[in-house]
Amino acid sequence: MDRKTLSAAFSVTIPVLMGYLAIGIAFGLMLQEIGYNFIWAFFMSLSIYAGSGQYLGVTLLSTCAGLGTVALMTLLINFRHLVYGLSMLEKFRGMGWRKLYMIFSLTDETYALLASAQAPAGVEPKRFYFAIALLDHSYWILGSVIGAVAGALIPLDTTGIDFAMTALFIVIAIDQWQSCSKHLPALLGTGATAVFLIGLGALWGQQQMLLVSLGVIVLALLLLRERLDPSQPGEEDLPC
């Protein structure tokens, strides 16, 4: 990759550098706290590469969740990627071998950059996109390894660091609430989980009830489709 492309991509990715280092460090600290060192952090960030997905992964590892639960929870938290992919079909066309990596590395932040960034004059757009994706991925790996190493080396009381995950989900929820015209899906998710997970979890185990909550939510959304689906064409491509 030539220097010009790399430096053009670097200047675009600086905000993601800040964000990924911070969120990645918190991830590394949480992982270290549940007993997995920087080698685990490195391989998780290299192979999974998903912010909220890996935060959830810390909980799945610490609660020794079964592989079925792991698969289903990962699927649901990443469901939004389906929408991202749909709007990148055109952009990734003709990228050859790099396309596979572009699809793998399509995180929220990379998606946001690719959706808006324009390659400067003299820089080939496809290489520019690839450089953005590659830089973002390396920031994420770097941040999580720094976090895990710091958690192991610095005698820091990290009790309560796991709240970073709750905070991240609250932030995403607020952003979604403000960008959606209909709040029923969010209220439904809150209500169903409160009833089934908190209310009945003590009786039948929270791991099982989480899956039950999910089933109830999907079923209710399917039943409410007529109410929630926009009648005007054109609105259907907007997220939520």
53 is a contact residue toward other proteins (CB under 8 A): yes
Choice from 117, 150, 172, 200 touching other proteins (CB under 8 A): 172
Q: What x-and-dash track marks residues 104-143 binding other proteins by CB under 8 A?
A: x-x-------------------------------------
6 is a contact residue toward other proteins (CB under 8 A): no
43 is a contact residue toward other proteins (CB under 8 A): yes
219 is a contact residue toward other proteins (CB under 8 A): no
Helix residue spans in the chain (DSSP H):
3-33, 38-47, 51-62, 67-77, 81-88, 98-104, 108-116, 125-153, 163-179, 184-193, 200-204, 206-223, 225-228
Residue nearer to other proteins on the CB measure, 5 or 28:
28
Least separation, in Å, of the C-beta of 80 and other proteins? 4
101 is a contact residue toward other proteins (CB under 8 A): no
Question: Which CA distances in Å does 134 have to 19, 44, 114, 127, 194?
Answer: 16, 16, 12, 10, 40
Instruction: Report whether 184 contacts 227 (CB < 8 A).
Output: yes
Number of other residues whose CB lies within 10 A of the CB of residue 10:
14
38 is a contact residue toward other proteins (CB under 8 A): no
Instruction: Report whether 49 contacts 140 (CB < 8 A).
Output: yes
Choice from 5, 13, 54, 144 touching other proteins (CB under 8 A): 54
